[in-house]
A = this chain, B = another copy of it.
Amino acid sequence: MVEEEGWVRLRIILVGFGVVGQNLVKLLLSRADDIYLRYGMKPRLVATVDSKGVAVSQSGLDLQRLLEVKRLYGTVAAYHDDGQRGESADIDLIDRKKGGRCRVEEIIREMDAEVLVEATPTNLNDGEPGLSNITTAIKHGRNVVTVNKGPLALAMPSLLELAEYNGVMLRFSGTVGGGTPILEFAKHCLRGDRILSFKGILNGTTNYILSMMEDGLTFDEALNDARSKGYAEADPSLDIDGFDAAAKLVIMANWIMGMKVTMRDVRFKGIRDVRLEDILEAKKHGKVIKLIASCDESRRLRVEPMSIDKNEPLCVNGTLNAVTFTSEHSGELTVIGKGAGGMETASAILRDLIEVREAMGMGIGLNRS
């Protein structure tokens, strides 16, 4: 394979190949020409890791085949067993005795790549395996794009510091609002102005449940309905008890407000105790109860059910997310969009990849290549 010029090259290690990871690969496939024409970059996947194995190719994995292998065998490990083999240099990284498995950290360390895309499931207990993956990548001079809230919720200040120290970028658009560019809006669209406070509906599952309760369902009925539609997990505690919203609030507070906080700095409460009567009573007065994540002017961080006016722009229904920023000069500004979704979140990763590539082109956060 002819080596591309350095300025268009973006070699990616993708760890985590679930719905979001697969949608990213679909996006890279369907938009390849357009991404090159509009942003002058040719992303190439040099390694993909899922829970059962790994596929590597320094010259770039065949994306179509990668998706097909995953679909047929449930793991990318089968990539190297299925028809043509990867290059011999690649195969060294794979311990064949373990059935195609190898240590993820070795891949992150050893492959030539400009960026790690971290898309393993969120774990708010210890942030693993995302935290180790991200730390390893940064220490080895790789930029990181993550959609994994765990590591950021637990250690964002130190991760940002580590990235800065190592001269690489750490980006995480997809962690808040799915494809809705909430973080970018606050960071890039309000330059010259100052955000004084913000409040948001950051969790689609709880918003769906509360919207259903407004239509007269009890909490349990609404939760079951959310489950049947695939909006809630079997164990819905992450959503229901406010952990997910709190994690997103931590990310916003660090990134937008320049605070140095983690989950421990958020006072949060979920929606388990919201009673149907409360909701119906609020409704009589033109109000609705929503799970609101907020950073007030004193920079107190809170997640709690709150009654808000039905006519406020913030008041969205169903699985939508919304954030209202109060700025010093431009008043209240609200951004609304879908808060989740595989393709939506994948589009946020692509956005981050474009930013990483452009910063590299300008010598910002340039890592070894």
Q: Which residues of A contact B (CB under 8 A)?
A: 27, 31, 35, 39, 178-181, 184-185, 188-193, 311, 313, 316-317, 320, 322, 327, 329-338, 341, 343-344, 346-348, 350-351, 353-355, 362
Chain B neighbourhood of A31, CB < 8 A: 192
Q: How long is the Cα–Cα vector from A329 to B188 in the complex, in angstroms? A: 21
* Contact B336–A313 (Cβ < 8 Å): yes
A32 CB to nearest chain B CB (Å): 12
Chain B neighbourhood of A179, CB < 8 A: 193, 327, 329-331
- Copy tally for this chain in the complex stands at 2
* Contact B344–A39 (Cβ < 8 Å): no
Q: How long is the Cα–Cα vector from A348 to B331 in the complex, in angstroms? A: 12
* Contact B192–A184 (Cβ < 8 Å): no
Chain B neighbourhood of A353, CB < 8 A: 192
* Contact A180–B313 (Cβ < 8 Å): no
Q: How long is the Cα–Cα vector from A313 to B191 in the complex, in angstroms? A: 25
* Contact B343–A329 (Cβ < 8 Å): yes
Chain B neighbourhood of A335, CB < 8 A: 185, 333-336
* Contact A330–B338 (Cβ < 8 Å): yes
Q: How long is the Cα–Cα vector from A353 to B191 in the complex, in angstroms? A: 10
Which one of B27, B178, B329 lies within 8 Å of A347 (CB-CB)? B329
A189 CB to nearest chain B CB (Å): 4
Q: Which residue on chain B has the smallest CB distance to residue A189?
A: B181
Q: How long is the Cα–Cα vector from A338 to B355 in the complex, in angstroms? A: 29
Chain B neighbourhood of A343, CB < 8 A: 329
Q: How long is the Cα–Cα vector from A189 to B176 in the complex, in angstroms? A: 14
Q: Which residue on chain B has the smallest CB distance to residue A349?
A: B192
A307 CB to nearest chain B CB (Å): 18
Which one of B189, B191, B330, B350 lies within 8 Å of A192 (CB-CB)? B350
A252 CB to nearest chain B CB (Å): 15
- Say yes or no: A337-B330 contact (C-beta < 8 A), given A188-B189, A192-B39: yes
* Contact B331–A341 (Cβ < 8 Å): yes
Q: How long is the Cα–Cα vector from A191 to B193 in the complex, in angstroms? A: 22
Which one of B184, B348, B350 lies within 8 Å of A188 (CB-CB)? B184
* Contact A316–B317 (Cβ < 8 Å): no
* Contact A331–B336 (Cβ < 8 Å): no
Known: A313-B313, A330-B337. 19 other contacts (CB 8 A): A27-B329, A31-B192, A180-B330, A181-B189, A184-B188, A189-B189, A191-B351, A191-B354, A192-B351, A193-B350, A313-B316, A313-B336, A329-B347, A330-B347, A330-B348, A331-B341, A331-B344, A333-B335, A334-B334
Chain B neighbourhood of A333, CB < 8 A: 180-181, 335-337
Q: How long is the Cα–Cα vector from A322 to B335 in the complex, in angstroms? A: 10
Q: Which residue on chain B has the smallest CB distance to residue A335?
A: B335
Q: How long is the Cα–Cα vector from A316 to B246 in the complex, in angstroms? A: 28
* Contact A331–B338 (Cβ < 8 Å): yes
Chain B neighbourhood of A178, CB < 8 A: 330
A152 CB to nearest chain B CB (Å): 20
Q: Could you list some 8 contacts between A and B, CB below 8 A? A: A180-B330, A181-B190, A181-B333, A190-B351, A192-B353, A193-B350, A330-B344, A333-B336
Chain B neighbourhood of A39, CB < 8 A: 191-192
Chain B neighbourhood of A35, CB < 8 A: 192
Question: Across chains A and B, which 8 residue pairs bring their CB atoms closest together, nearest first?
Answer: A179-B330, A329-B347, A181-B189, A192-B350, A334-B336, A333-B337, A313-B336, A184-B189
